[in-house]
Amino acid sequence: MKPEIVLLERMMPQIEKALDDAYTVHYLPDTPSLAAVAPRVRAVVTGGGTGVPPDVMAALPELGLIAVNGIGTDAVDLREARRRNIHVTTTPGVLTDDVADMAIALLLAVSRGIVRADRYVRAGDWSTGAPIALGHRVSGKRMGIVGLGHVGRAIAHRAQAFGMQVAYNDVREIPDAGFAYHADLTDLARASDILVVAAAGGAGSRGIVNAGVLDALGRAGILVNVARGSVVDEDALVAALREGRLGGAGLDVFAHEPDVPAALLAMDNVVLQSHRASATVETRLAMGEMVLGNLAAFYAGSRLLSAVV
């Protein structure tokens, strides 16, 4: 008898095949009755953005492992997991470079008008000689990073290769970080041309990139978010862009995914992604393999590869 697991978010076909080989997988949206399978389910696999809804966690009395296919645990109730002795694993390390790459890609796309120019060429506007706005230089600018964890540092190193001055804000100064620290996020924004959000989501960071921070970043400033939509006050962001108080934004994540504020869709100075910063074949395979490894360790009763709880 294969162990039964619940899958809350789709994974790569190769990984789902490996899951199917080893487990009876109940993909939640297709499962007629969670209650009927719940007594036999000891593990849940989910994505970082999806997490585990409280009612699903409550419906699984035998739950012993939540394997997150990602690094964010803000959508998992860790306190409840600890109380119920449920392990929580993530996939650290393997996605750092891709997420940092996406931050730089979004920055370049916004500053240089890459998506706008692509639309211009496809529409045939180049051949008609229609005007197209100039972009803005990225090299040598000042980058502020909100959250200097693994991803934040990887972004910082890329920014240095562009000759940028890097500074950061975090809950506390990181000794030997090698970058200027601003304890106050508004001060960091004031000292930055570009503000990149790389902080963990959750209660501690909710809405910290607020109207005041966006105003400090200013009319020529660019906001990039590859972390969580919850870190930014999305209404304040839309208002700042609409009123020209912010220069542009590159956004991979949103407050209420997959819903994106309609106002953003019409803005030329905004580049939008569908929470894809870790979505490369190479990285999603590596993440999936870590999930498989954690599941195997859990069912074998051995040490988990990457437990956070």
Residues with catalytic function: 228, 257, 275
Q: Determine which residue in the list 7, 43, 71, 271 makes contact with ligand 8YV, applying CB under 6 A.
A: 71
Q: Give least dist CB 228 to ligand 8YV, A.
A: 8
Q: Does 255 bind ligand 8YV (CB under 6 A)?
A: no
Q: Does 81 bind ligand 8YV (CB under 6 A)?
A: no
Work out whether 47 is an interface residue with ligand 8YV (CB under 6 A). yes
- Out of 19, 57, 69, 290, point to the residue binding ligand 8YV (CB under 6 A): 69
- Is residue 72 within the footprint of ligand 8YV (CB under 6 A)? yes
Q: What's the min distance (Å) between Cβ of 155 and ligand 8YV?
A: 15
Contact segment (CB under 6 A) with ligand 8YV among 66-74, 106-114, 140-148, 300-308 equals 66-74
Task: Compute the least distance from the CB of residue 157 to ligand 8YV, in Å.
Answer: 19
Cis peptide before 258 (omega within 30 of 0): yes
Rounded CA separation 268/89 (Å):
39
Question: CB under 6 A: which stretch of 64-72, 129-137, 218-226, 255-263 binds ligand 8YV?
Answer: 64-72
The torsion defined by the Cα of 9, 197, 235 and 239, in degrees rounded to 10, comes to: -140
Cα(281)–Cα(94) distance, integer angstroms: 12
- Please check whether residue 43 is in contact with residue 7, taking contact to mean a CB–CB distance below 8 angstroms: no
Pick 145 or 241: Cβ nearer ligand 8YV: 145
> How is residue 222 written in tokens?
């660019």
Pick one of 186, 278, 294, 306: the residue that binds ligand 8YV (CB under 6 A): 278
Name the one range near ligand 8YV by CB under 6 A: 41-49, 115-123, 179-187, 243-251: 41-49
Q: Maximum CA pair distance of the chain?
A: 68
In one-letter notation, the amino acid at residue 161 is A
Q: Which helix (H) or strand (E) holds 222?
A: strand 222-225
Question: Who contacts 81 (Cβ-Cβ below 8 Å, separation ≥6)?
Answer: 57, 66, 87, 88, 309
Tokens 């020209």 sit at which residue?
Answer: 244
Distance CA 97, CA 129 (A): 39
State the residues that interact with ligand 8YV by CB under 6 A. 9, 47-49, 69-72, 95, 275, 278
